[in-house]
Amino acid sequence: MTHPNLKNTSIIESVKGRGIPLAENDVDTDRIIPARYLKFITFEGLGAYAFYDERFDEQGKPKSHPFNDPRYSGASILLAGANFGCGSSREHAPQALYRAGIRAIVAPSFAEIFAGNSTAIGMPTVMVSSLHLDTLITLVTQNPSTEIHIDLKNKTLTTSSGWTCPVDMNEGYRKAFLEGSWDSTAVLLANLELIRKKAAELPSIR
């Protein structure tokens, strides 16, 4: 629970953007970011390698993939199948997607660790029914310019065409976004004076 006197600087109540469809179930983290890219010292630049083996052949030539499709260039909301992010718990997977421009993911379900790792970097993972996902993907496929608005506060998803559906998500994660407590580093930095004051009040341990 966030202390009532601590300031929250990273509140996320909604996410807006165009969608990019990847209607496959059980997409694991090894597909999202191949293991050979885990050797990077920082997460910078990982976006270029998101779905790399599915986007390029052995000669580095582009293959047919939504992330290579110019119609979805600049799209920031990934529309995915059930159990997205399963497999290993590598935090590089959500980092790669985030650095590729993804700011939220919509799917019927998520692997628990993947959803937690996504929350920790400010990328909401919201759930919709399979039926609603199918409708949403159809709308985006037919009109890639369709804007999607995910309202975490009211738990709804609305498109620029007027179509809407309910969304769900882990309540702890949703609360963290609405309170701004998902970004633990930002919370600490924004409250350094309070932390120093409390530290000065504590008895020293020798």
Distance, in Å, from the CA atom of 145 to the CA atom of 161, rounded to the nearest integer, reads 10
Q: How many domains does the chain have?
A: 1
Note whether residue 73 is domain-resident: yes
Note whether residue 9 is domain-resident: no
Please say if the pLDDT value at position 6 is more than 50: no
The pLDDT of residue 104: 98
The pLDDT of residue 5: 45
Q: For 116-136, what is the mean pLDDT?
A: 97
Note whether residue 49 is domain-resident: yes
Percent share of the chain, pLDDT over 70: 85
Note whether residue 139 is domain-resident: yes
Residues 6+ apart with CB under 8 A from 76: 15, 17, 18, 101, 102, 103, 104
- Out of 138-142, 147-151, 187-191, 199-203, least confident range: 187-191
Percent share of the chain, pLDDT over 90: 75
The pLDDT of residue 42: 72
The pLDDT of residue 190: 59
Q: For 66-91, what is the mean pLDDT?
A: 96
Note whether residue 3 is domain-resident: no
The pLDDT of residue 9: 58
What ranges in the chain are assigned the alpha helix state H? 29-32, 52-55, 92-99, 112-119, 130-142, 171-179, 184-190, 192-201
Helices and strands, number each (H, E), in the chain: 8, 7
Note whether residue 5 is domain-resident: no
Note whether residue 106 is domain-resident: yes
Q: For 26-55, what is the mean pLDDT?
A: 89
CATH number at residue 65: 3.20.19.10
Two structure tokens written together for 147? 């804007």
Note whether residue 206 is domain-resident: no
Q: Which domain holds residue 32?
A: 14-201
Mean pLDDT, all residues of the chain: 89
pLDDT digits (tens, 9 = 90+) for 94-113: 999 999 999 999 999 999 99
Contact 146, 140 (CB under 8 A): yes
